[in-house]
Every structure is written in structure tokens, then in C-alpha cells.
Structure 1
Amino acid sequence: MTAFSCLRWFVFALNLFFWIAGLGTLGVSLWLRFDPAVADYMRINNGLENFYTAVYILMAVGVIMTLLGFLGCWGAWRESQCMLVCFFIVLVVVFCLELACAILAYTHQETVKRYIENSMYDTVYEHYYRRPEYTEIFDRIQTGLECCGVKSYKDWLSSYFSSEASGRSELGIGAANYGRVPQSCCNEDGLRDYPADCGKSFDKMELYTYEPFLHTKGCSEALYEKVYSNLDVAICVSVIIGALQLVGMVLSMLLCCWISSHKEDDRKTGGYYH
């Protein structure tokens, strides 16, 4: 096998990897966009433009990488200079998009975390139980992520839901540690042992008494972990893919120049360069 054939097959294999990586990237971005827990949260909190911007950029990268892999494979297989030049240009665009997406995701971690916490506090304290759409969606979040409140179930004790109008007057209790949480906060044990009144400070006992029957993890942490889970792994994979893309840029130009050079020699000698 000649050096030219080795280079051509290497470029072909590299682009096959890009095609598979593009499908994987597209799959991850679609999961982030349409995951039920994330989608529910975004329905009641539409201020995270930066998060969805990063997701849409990632989606575009996935689509372009899939097409990129096809272009590169076809160009290497057919020895098409036009395809290889297109591959190089698109690869540069994809690399820039990936870099922008990575910067957005990395630099806005704390912003996303603070926004999730603040907007969840707003929902728990002000909207839950007053507005049916907020109540339904936040119940789904608590059930789906097995969480309760913003940082813990204790957040509900200061909420409208657990106030005089909706909780404590019914219980006849006025102390700060008495109140209720939504039934969606209850774990399997709570729903089994207290199917009718799980979450209430019944029997005039403080709510923490029933902690074994509640989800103890806060929903802000649970949602943040879901969005940013395995971020370190994703960054490492992105660095590897970025390095391979740089290699792909160099090799595609080498192959393109080699094809051009050999075609010129063929025209002079009438030979065949394979």
C-alpha cells in the first residue's frame, strides 16, 4: 500500500468517526432539549436563554458533524478535491461552534445554578398552589427527580402552600416547624404508610419527624446535576474530538494537495497515480 493510499484510508476512517460522533452529539442535544424534567422546568422559567442557546448550538454541531463525516468519507473515497475543500471549510465552522458551546457551558455554570435556585424559590413561595400550571409542573419535577423543595423539604414551611391560608390553619398549629409539603415530596415509604395525608404535620408533631418518608434532596441540586452530569467527561471528550478535528483539517488539505499534484503529474505522463 502506497503512502497516498494510507493517507486516503486514514482520512476516510477519521471521517467515519466524525459521522458517528455527530450522531452522538445530536442525540445528547436532543435529550437536553426534550428531557421531561428539564422541559417542565423551562415551561415555568423562560429566562435561561443562555442554556438553550448552548443546546441549540450543540444541536447544530451534531447535524453539521454528521454531514461533515459524509462529506469527508465521500471526498476521500472518490478523491474529490471539491468535497475535501468543503469538508475543510465546514470542519473549521464546526470547530468554532464547538468552542463557543464549550465556553458558554463552562462559564455559565454558576449563573445557571443561581438562576435555578432563585426561580425555584419564586415558584415554591409564590406560585405553587395559587397557579395550577405551576403546581402541576413542579409536582412532576419533584416526582421525576425524587426531590423536594429548593434545597430541602424545609423550604415548604415558609411557602404559601404551607401558610395559614392553605396549611397551618387546617392543622391548628402555628409553630414554624409545623406545616406541610406537597404529596409529590413523599417517597415510596411515605406513600405506602400515609397514602391519604403524607406530607402533613399531623398528630401535632414537627415535620422533620416524617423525614424518612420524604425526598430529602433539594430540586435545584437535582436538576443542576441532571443538566451538568458528567460535565468533566464531556469536556475531555470534546477536547479529544477537537484535537482530531485539527488533525482532520491538516490531513484533508494534505490529501487535497496530493491529489492535485498527482493529477498534474498524470496529465504530463499519462500515468495513473494509485
Structure 2
Amino acid sequence: MAGVSGCLKYSMFIFNSLFWLCGTVILGVAIWVRTTKSDHEFISHGDSYSSVPANLLIAVGSITMILGFLGCCGAIKESRCLLILFFIGLLLILILQVAAGAVGVILKPQMERELNQTLHEDIKLLSETSESAVKYQTTLAELEERLRCCGLINGASDWGTNFQKYAKYCACTDVMNSSCEIYSGVSVYKEACAPAIKQIFKKYLIIVIGIAFGLAFVEVLGMIFSMVLVRQIGGK
């Protein structure tokens, strides 16, 4: 009987080491996005769907790390059991990714509608003085300065009596610029922040889709490697 190819064995080990490393990176990035006070936190305010991308990446990263470890052990120890478990795990993830993609396509319009509804409902927070409202106002003010926009839906008027307090964040220094307007004696950006916020939300979804497609290619390679190695081990 022919032995196990050393080249294939160590190629499988290196492949799964990289697979495990990819899982570590995905998990780390997902946890950072989920816990950092950023655009994601602002978008997830009152929106049950907006945290889905980060949560999905946390699950994918964790499972990828576990499968990478199984693959490494299976290759080095020449264990058919571990390699078969690795193959089954990859197959299940691949099936789940296809199913999640289909669900994502179905839910995408609903997610966009809910985000739009949430943004319209949150306008009232801009003119309130409660602790949660102030926290929301501070986050939006930081976004205004970075994204060069003012207000949420209707522009500077969304701030109500709080406008003077946060006016400097959406101040437009170039008065002659067509993207600026005068509001309460202050030159501010004419465009509201809702369109930019929606783009940020779409960006998160695109990142998840991109990672899913990249992992699908790697998973197919892993399945091929593992089955070839299993057959060689069985033929020893």
C-alpha cells in the first residue's frame, strides 16, 4: 500500500494553520466592531437587524478557528476521524453560508426599511435632554464632523433647541460652497446624515458578503485536501 504523501500532509497542515489564523483575524475584527463605540453602535441604536453582520462574523470566526485546529491535528496525526470531522464541518458551514445568503437577500429590503424607520423615529432624540438622548446626540455630532453632514433627516432643523450646542460639528467653513446653507446665522452642511449612515450600514453588509465568498473558496479547497488525505491514510 502506498504511504501518505509527506508533501500533501504538511501542505494540509500549513493550509489549516492559515485557516485558523483567518478565523482568529475575523473573530478579532468582529469583536472590535461589536464592542467599539463607532458607526456600528450608532446604527444599531434601536435596530434589531443592524448588529447581525458583526454577530455573524463572530460565529464564523469562532467556527473557523475550531475547524482549523481540527484540520491541523488531523493532518499531523494522520487521523481519519479528525479529517472526516473537518470535512463535515466545512460542508455544514458551506451549506449554512448558502442558506444565510438566501435569507440575507430576502431580508435585505426589510432591514433597509427598519433602518429607515429607526432613523425617522430617532429625530426626536436630537431635541431631548435625557442621558440616552445626549449620548446619541454626541455620537451623531461626531459623525456630522467626519461625514460633513448636518442633522438626521431634514438637516439642521432636526436639532431643535439643541442646535447651538452642536452647531460647530456641522459648521461649513466655505460659505460660498453649494453644499452649505445658512441656518440660525450659522453656515452648515445642507445634506442630512441619513444617506451617509445608510451607506455605512451597506458597507458592513458588503464586508460580510465578501468574507463569506472568500471563505467559501477556501472551504472547498479544504474539503478537497482533507478527502485526498483521508483516502491516502485509508490506503496505507
What's the TM-score once normalised by structure 2's chain length?
0.76
C-alpha change, 1:42 and 1:215, in structure 2 (3 Å) is same
In the alignment, which residue of structure 2 is the partner of 1:112?
111
Please say if 1:72 is aligned against 2:46.
no
Aligned-partner Cα distance in 1 for 2:11–2:190: 52
Further displaced range: 220-229 or 5-14:
220-229
- Corresponding residue number in structure 2 for 1:224: 198
Other-structure match for 2:219: 245
CA separation of 1:54 and 1:190: change in aligned 2, threshold 3 A: closer
Q: Equivalent of 1:186, from 168, 183, 191? A: 168
- Which deviates more from structure 2 when the two are superposed, residues 83-92 or residues 144-153? 144-153
Name the residue aligned to 1:259. 233
The residue identity in structure 1 corresponding to 2:166 is S
CA pair 23-100 structure 1, distance change in 2 beyond 3 A: farther
How many Å separate the matches in 1 of 2:31 and 2:100? 15
Distance in 1 between residues matched to 2:190 and 2:4, nearest whole Å = 62
In the alignment, does 2:67 pair up with 1:93? no
How far off is 1:41 after superposition? 4.5
CA RMSD between the two structures: 3.2
Paired residues of 1:29 and 1:59 also in contact (CA < 8 A): yes
Using the TM superposition, give the Cα deviation of residue 76 of structure 1 relative to its aligned residue in structure 2, in angstroms.
Answer: 0.8
| Cα-to-partner distance string for 1:199-227 (whole Å, 9 max, x where unaligned) | xxxxxx9517633xx35553323333333
Q: 1:233 to 1:115 in 2, by over 3 A?
A: closer
Q: In 2, distance between residues paired with 1:57 and 1:188?
A: 34
Deviation at 1:79? 0.9
Q: Secondary structure at the match of 2:127?
A: coil
- Residue 85 of structure 1 contacts residue 256 of structure 1 at CA under 8 Å; is this kept in 2? yes
Q: TM-score, normalised by structure 1?
A: 0.67
For structure 1, which runs of at least 5 residues remain unmatched after alignment? 168-179, 192-204, 263-274
CA distance in 1, matches of 2:107, 2:165: 33
CA contact (8 A) 2:44 2:50 kept: no
Structure 2 residue identity aligned to 1:142: L
Q: Displacement, 1:65?
A: 0.3
Percent identity, please.
23
Q: Which moved more, 1:135-144 or 1:103-112?
A: 103-112
Which blocks of at least 5 consecutive residues in structure 2 are unaligned?
174-180
What do the CA deviations read for 1:76-111 (whole angstroms, capped 9, x no partner)?
112111211121122123223433444455554443
How many equivalent pairs are there? 222
Q: Which amino acid aligns with 1:116?
A: L
Counterpart residue type for residue 183 of structure 2: L
Alignment of 1:1-274 (within 5 A): 4-37=5-38, 38-43=40-45, 45=46, 47-48=47-48, 50-124=49-123, 126-130=124-128, 132-146=130-144, 147-151=149-153, 153-156=155-158, 162=160, 167=161, 181=163, 183-187=165-169, 207=183, 210-211=186-187, 214-229=188-203, 232=206, 235-262=209-236
* Deviation sequence 1:29-76 (CA, Å, 0-9, x none): 223322313224534x1x42x333443232111101011111111211
Which residue does the alignment assign to 2:177? none
Aligned-partner SS, 2:51: helix
| Secondary structure in 1 matching 2:235 | helix
Q: Compare CA radii of gyration and give the structure with the larger one.
A: 1
Amino acid at match of 1:95: L
Greater RCO between the two (CA within 8 Å, min separation 6)?
2
